[in-house]
Amino acid sequence: MKKILLTLAVIVAGYNAQSQVIAAGISPVAIEGNYDFTWADPGGGDWSSPDFLIPGTFVQDTLMLVEDGTPGTNPQGNPVSQEGCFPLINNVAGKIAVIYRNTCEFGAKALNAQDSGAVAVIIINRDPEVIEMGGGAMGTSVTIPVIMLTSTDGAALVNEMLGGSVVMFLGNKTGLYNNDAGLTKGTTLISKAGSMPALLAQNGTEFNFDIGTRVYNYGIQDQSNMVLSATIDGPGGNLYTQSLTLPTVLSGDSIDVEPSQVLNFPQFSNATYPVGRYTLTYNIALDTADAYDADNWIIAEFFISDTMFSIVSADTLTGEPNQNNGFRPSGNTATFSSCIVLDNPNGSRLGVEGLYFQALGNSVDLTGEEIALYAYRWQDVFTDLNDGALAFDNLNTVGFGTYTYASDLQGETVYGALNTPIALEDNQRFLFCAQTVNVDVFLGFDNTLNYLWNEAFYLQPIAPIENDGNYFAAGFGMEQQSSIGVKVAEVSSLNIGLSENGTIEGMAYPNPAKDVVTIAINTSEDANVIVTDLTGKVVIFGALSFANGNAIVNIADLESGVYLFNVTLENGLSSQFSVVKL
């Protein structure tokens, strides 16, 4: 059965398809602009808050931290009294109450603020992400707007509040201003990758992508003569500049400019692509002043790199994949893999050495935590995401490795090498995954780039995820991407296959496995296998006989967890595999 989209344990619901629903800083200048957020949607049945999807539904006012008098400091270093779990002792009447997340239900916090006269509530998450907020037992009694901001954005606002008044706008700005147009990330075409290896981008026929976006008229007035422009600047300067004057767009309407429309921009391709940072910028300009111009630009960076392939954007200084969120699936009980797909007509130029990734613990110290790293040759044959043959039934493990945290590197990008480098192939899908078996460990994701339109336009899998042995082609959705980076090099520079330290390339599948594991090594020799758990305890020891390069190991009696398989052939060569037992 084809599986496309999986829900999050912490569901990101605030990246609205149309940016008229916003959480925006109004003053001072330092906090102006749009913020990522989620909101208490009454459509779910556990809130009675206003519906921000209704045009003109908004609150704009001054922020104030709540105070309920509870002593102590929470694990994030914030006063417990500002979690608002008890009746407030300070006056928030006519203010937007600011409350830290940690203990007690969201609905209880919001109701305490409402009972003290607050006109709206901002809950600051304890993590650098925003999540769906259940109303709990009190949510249906809350009749004021409630939103959540990330810990990072919340800290910036609180810091600004120390110096004076901070004003924010929360809600729907459609029809609020006479003249107001905008663009959204989710309805914009961008580069096919956040970081593209230079060996796969040697000219415009090898690396190119389509340009397009949707222009919204959020204002009261119809708009004529709006000008949409798209530019791309690279290490050597401007590479692409196009502009179009749009026909009249009625109030509340929109217009698409993309390759399937009469109005369209030329495809972007360049004769050469020097290594470095490239910036794609879309801009919509009115023939009068735009009353709210914070959403008049979409900026999406991508990199040409000597050593990295990633879907997410790359750090300007290190070139490593960015992350700003930690996710895992809801209902997860065993394994969770964050993955990206690499499929290119010139893939055979590259070898892969290892993966970059990030992890965050839910009140867990990462020291000693092990992450398994996998490279799969995705051999299921299908055309695109609409093909009924789309499946994950033929994932052939061609590379593996493990990374063990030496210290508590929460949210930091780390690198784990595959046990042996692997060679890629032309026009062959490969799936690269980082996997955890700890249900309290979240893997890194990033929402800087939004691939909603890319997915709809190209219909190719980008960043699947695995949950308890089941794969989902569209992951958690294209608004947030797996922050996996694949370290690549010219294939001729790597020692592929037999290595100097006496190892031989092989694979173990299926992985995860329930009852039996097939060890695949190009040999007809007999071998010994030693299987150990993560404490080093030997749980299986015995002989293997290979037939047509395959040998079977029965693991039905093992407990669920991660195991290391060490296979030694009669000639002394060895292979090592990390296998997850379901």
Determine contact, residues 83/99, Cβ cutoff 8 Å: yes
Per-domain boundaries in the chain = 21-172, 181-305, 308-492, 501-581
The CA-atom distances, in angstroms, between 354 and each of 9, 423, 487 are 28, 12, 5
The proportion of the chain whose per-residue pLDDT surpasses 70, expressed as a percent, equals 95
Flag the least confident range among 95-104, 384-393, 556-565. Answer: 556-565
| pLDDT digit string, tens, across residues 434-492 | 999 999 999 999 988 999 999 999 999 999 999 999 999 999 888 889 999 999 999 88
User: What integer pLDDT is reported at residue 3 of this predicted model?
Assistant: 37
For the segment(s) 181-305, the CATH number from 1.10.4190.10, 3.30.160.270, 2.60.40.10, 3.30.230.10 is 2.60.40.10
User: What integer pLDDT is reported at residue 11 of this predicted model?
Assistant: 26
Written as six digits, the tokens of 214 are 């949707």
Residue type, 290: D
| pLDDT digit string, tens, across residues 267-305 | 999 999 999 999 999 999 999 999 999 899 999 999 999
* Nearest alpha carbon to residue 349 among 487, 201, 199: 199
User: What integer pLDDT is reported at residue 18 of this predicted model?
Assistant: 44
Distance CA 356, CA 413 (A): 6
Read off the pLDDT of each residue in 368-380 and give the average, rounded to a whole number: 92
- State the Cα angle at 553 between 551 and 556, rounded to 5°: 155
**pTM (predicted TM-score):** 0.79
Domain 21-172: which CATH class?
Answer: alpha beta
Written as six digits, the tokens of 33 are 């602009």
Are 181-305 and 501-581 in the same CATH fold? yes
Q: Please determine, for residue 179, whether its predicted confidence score (pLDDT) is greater than 50.
A: yes
| pLDDT digit string, tens, across residues 208-246 | 999 999 999 999 999 999 999 999 999 999 999 999 999
Flag the least confident range among 41-45, 142-146, 253-257, 379-383. Answer: 41-45
User: What integer pLDDT is reported at residue 502 of this predicted model?
Assistant: 67
Per the model's pLDDT, the better-predicted residue between 579 and 120 turns out to be 120
What CATH number should be reported for the domain whose range is 308-492?
Answer: 2.60.120
Report the CATH fold assignment for 501-581.
Immunoglobulin-like (2.60.40)
Written as six digits, the tokens of 127 are 């993590």
As to burial, measured by CB atoms within 10 angstroms (0-12 exposed, 13-18 middle, 19+ buried), residue 22 is buried
Residue 113 DSSP symbol: H
Helical (H) or strand (E) element with 554:
strand 550-554
Read off the pLDDT of each residue in 405-410 and give the average, rounded to a whole number: 94
Q: Please determine, for residue 311, whether its predicted confidence score (pLDDT) is greater than 90.
A: yes
User: What integer pLDDT is reported at residue 13 of this predicted model?
Assistant: 28
